[in-house]
Amino acid sequence: MKHGKKYTDSRKLVDSTKLYEPVEALDLCAKTGKAKFDETVEIHVRLGVDSRHADQQVRGAVVLPNGTGKSVRVLCFARGDAAEAAKAAGAEFVGAEDMMEKIQKENWMDFDVVIATPDMMGIVGRLGKILGPRGLMPNPKAGTVTPDAGRAVTEAKAGKIEYRLDKTNIIHCPIGKVSFGAQKLQENFDTLMDAIVKAKPAAAKGQYVRSCVVATTMGPGVKINPARFVAVATTEN
């Protein structure tokens, strides 16, 4: 695959054989983000678990201290006081059957996060085939199915992200923008990695964090030494 000059120049800054410490890796990400837009910095963590087994699932949510740098559009399924609380917290769209029909009939998808109160799951459940494949289905573990709709909306707006294993046992998450700089990126990185390590399933055997890579939208991947998470994971269990 042929890469452009900016990518090639960025690639020269990164030693592909080296396992970096997080602060070095994130500093490199900030330096290699050379696109004309503010690139997203993403983390890719491969875990030593088998997502095919229910007792080895890793899933949860965490509020990044510096947010993601992205404005989040929230759809909340709620009625009554919960609906009012969601509106007050800044949810762009609040409703029930009306929102369900809009999604079903108009293929409307102008939102980034879906939150629902427990009594709304009968309605939201009918949207499973639409929301599920897009990773938008509300889930109690992620805190997006909750009676406290106002708080959930506030957290989503503040930079709450969901992490979950894909079929290849890798977690992919945004941790901010290049413009954040290395320090703010590291604060977000540490918060997310702490959550992932604490979510280690009891059934997980051997090395938990197998590999960790950070990269900008258009930049090369920078490998982080996974050994630094081994001691932490061992201490947690």
The CATH H-level (homologous superfamily) assignment of domain 5-67+160-236 is: Ribosomal protein L1/L10, rRNA-binding domain (3.30.190.20)
- Diameter of the chain measured on Cα atoms: 57
Question: What's the confidence (pLDDT) of residue 70?
Answer: 86
How would residue 32 be classed by pLDDT, with cut points 50, 70 and 90?
Answer: confident
Helix ranges (H only) for the chain are: 5-13, 22-32, 80-88, 97-106, 121-124, 128-131, 149-158, 181-198, 227-236
Question: What's the confidence (pLDDT) of residue 141?
Answer: 83
| HSE of 231, CA atoms in CB hemisphere, 13 A | 3
Q: Looking at the predicted structure, is the pLDDT value of residue 174 above 90?
A: yes
Q: Looking at the predicted structure, is the pLDDT value of residue 86 above 90?
A: yes
Question: What's the confidence (pLDDT) of residue 7?
Answer: 53
Q: Residue ranges of the domains in the chain?
A: 5-67+160-236, 74-158
Select from 188, 187, 218, 224 the least CA-distant residue to 33: 218
CATH (one of 3.80.10.10, 3.40.50.790, 3.30.70.270, 3.40.50.2000) for 74-158: 3.40.50.790
Residue range 195-226, pLDDT digits in tens: 999 999 998 888 999 999 999 988 888 999 99
Mean pLDDT (whole number) for 164-191:
93
**Helices 227-236 & 181-198, crossing angle to 10 degrees?**
40
pTM of the entire predicted model: 0.79
How would residue 17 be classed by pLDDT, with cut points 50, 70 and 90?
Answer: confident
Q: Do domains 5-67+160-236 and 74-158 have the same CATH topology?
A: no
Of these ranges, 7-16, 35-44, 104-113, the one predicted with the greatest mean pLDDT is: 104-113
Q: What is the 3-state secondary structure (H, E, C) of 155-222?
A: HHHHCEEEEEECCCCEEEEEEEEHHHHHHHHHHHHHHHHHHHHHCCCCCCCCCCEEEEEEEECCCCCE
| Cβ burial 152-181 (10 Å sphere, 16+ → b, else e) | bbbbbbebbbbbbbeeebebebbbbbbebe
Residue range 126-139, pLDDT digits in tens: 999 999 988 899 99
How would residue 95 be classed by pLDDT, with cut points 50, 70 and 90?
Answer: very high
